[in-house]
C-alpha cells in the first residue's frame, strides 16, 4: 500500500494524488446502496462499503454464487468479510488502507488516479475492470501495491466464507474422529 517514501519514489504526480486524497470528503453521495445496512461494520463507512462492493463485484465475477433464498447476498458477505479482514490489521496498516480509500473516494483525484470518471455507485463493470487492470500492470509501484491490497482484502474477505467454497470444490475442514 502507501508509505511516504514510496510516494517520494513515485514522484510529484503521486504526491499530488495523496495530498488531494487526504482532503477527501468523509462521504460521497454514491453510497446509498450501503448506507442502510444495519450490520455493525467495524471499520468501513458507507462510502467505503460502496467502493468495496464495486471492486468485489468485478474481482469476484464468476466466483460469487447466484443469490439463493432470503439470506444476505454473496456480495454483502464479501463486503463484510473485507471489513473483518481490515479490522484485524495493525493500526498502522489500517491507516494505510484508509489512505487508499481516501484516494479512491476523492471526486477530484479519483479520475486522475484510476481513470474512473463516474462515481462508484454508477461505475460500469467494464470501467472498474479497466481501473483494476491499469493499477495491476502500472509502472508505478504505488498503484501496483494499491491493486494488490484490494486483491488481498477482497479475496481474503470472500474465500474465508463457507459460502465461497462450493465454487472451489474445497470440501471444508474435515471432521475429527
Partner 1 sequence: MTMIQDIVAEGLARGWKAYDGSKLDRDVTIDCDVAIIGTGAGGGTAAEILSRSGLRVVLLEEGPLMSSRDFHMLEREAYPNLYQESAARHTKDKGILILQGRSVGGSTTVNWTSSFRTPPQTCAYWREHFGLAEYTPELLQPWFEMMERRLNVQPWAEPPNENNAVLRRGAEKLGIPTAVIPRNVKGCYNLGYCGMGCPTNAKQSMLVTTIPSALEHGAVLYSRVRAQRYVLENDRVVAVECAALDATGLRPGPHTLTVRAKTFVSAGGAINNPALMLRSALPNPYKLLGTRTFLHPTVISSASMPEPVDAYSGAPQSIYSDHFLYTQPFGGPIGYKLEVPPMHPVLMSTTLPGFGAASASLTAAMPNIQVIIALMRDGFHAQSIGGTVELKSDGTPLLDYPISQYLWEGARRALVTMAEIQFAAGARTVLPLHESAEPYRNLADAKAAIATLPMDILRLRVASAHVMGGCAMGANERESIVDGHGRYHQLQNLYVFDGSAFPTSLGVNPQLSIYGMVARNASRLAHSLTGRAAAAIA
The DSSP result for the chain, as a single string, is: ---HHHHHHH-HHHHHHHHHHTT--S--GGGHHHHT--S--SS--HHHHHHHHHHHHHHTTTTSPPP-SSS--HHHHHHHHHHHHHHTS-HHHHHHHHHHHHHHH-TTHHHHHH---S-GGG--HHHHHHHHHHHHT-SSHHHHHHHHHHHHHHHHHHHTSGGGHHHHT---SPPP-
Q: Which of residues 45-74 bind partner 1 (CB under 8 A)?
A: 58-63
> Considering only 24-32, 84-92, 103-111, 115-123, which stretch makes contact with partner 1 by CB under 8 A?
84-92
Q: Which of residues 8-47 bind partner 1 (CB under 8 A)?
A: none
Q: Which of 23, 68, 90, 122 binds partner 1 (CB under 8 A)?
A: 90
In terms of CB distance, is 24 or 85 closer to partner 1?
85
Report whether 1 contacts 146 (CB < 8 A).
yes
Nearest Cα to Cα of residue 53 among 128, 127, 113: 128
- Least separation in angstroms between residue 27's CB and partner 1 is 25
In terms of CB distance, is 73 or 94 closer to partner 1?
94
> Considering only 10-18, 26-34, 68-76, 149-157, which stretch makes contact with partner 1 by CB under 8 A?
149-157
Q: CA-to-CA distance for 51 and 149, rounded, in angstroms?
A: 13
Q: Is 168 in the site for partner 1 (CB under 8 A)?
A: yes
In terms of CB distance, is 69 or 171 closer to partner 1?
171
- Least separation in angstroms between residue 56's CB and partner 1 is 10
Q: Is 126 in the site for partner 1 (CB under 8 A)?
A: no
Query: Where along the sequence are the contacts to partner 1 (CB under 8 A)?
Result: 1, 3, 5-6, 58-63, 81, 84-85, 87-93, 129, 132, 136-137, 141, 144-145, 147-149, 151-152, 155-156, 158-161, 164-165, 167-170, 173-174, 176-177
Amino acid at each position: 500500500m502507501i508509505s511516504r517514501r514510496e510516494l517520494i519514489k513515485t514522484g510529484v504526480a503521486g504526491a499530488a494524488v495523496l495530498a488531494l486524497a487526504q482532503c477527501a470528503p468523509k462521504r460521497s453521495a454514491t453510497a446509498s446502496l450501503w448506507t442502510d445496512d444495519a450490520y455493525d461494520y467495524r471499520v468501513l463507512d458507507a462510502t467505503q462499503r460502496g467502493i468495496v462492493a464495486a471492486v468485489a463485484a468485478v474481482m469476484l465475477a464468476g466466483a460469487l454464487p447466484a443469490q439463493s433464498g432470503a439470506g444476505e447476498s454473496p456480495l454483502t458477505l464479501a463486503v463484510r468479510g473485507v471489513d473483518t479482514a481490515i479490522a484485524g490489521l495493525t493500526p498502522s496498516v489500517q491507516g494505510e488502507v484508509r489512505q487508499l480509500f481516501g484516494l479512491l473516494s476523492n471526486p477530484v483525484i479519483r479520475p486522475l488516479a484510476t481513470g474512473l470518471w463516474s462515481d462508484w455507485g454508477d461505475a460500469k463493470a467494464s470501467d472498474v475492470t479497466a481501473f483494476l487492470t491499469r493499477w495491476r500492470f502500472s509502472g508505478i509501484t504505488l498503484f501496483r501495491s494499491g491493486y494488490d491490497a484490494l486483491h488481498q482484502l477482497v479475496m481474503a474477505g470472500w474465500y474465508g466464507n463457507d459460502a465461497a467454497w462450493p465454487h472451489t470444490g474445497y470440501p471444508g475442514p474435515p471432521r475429527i474422529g
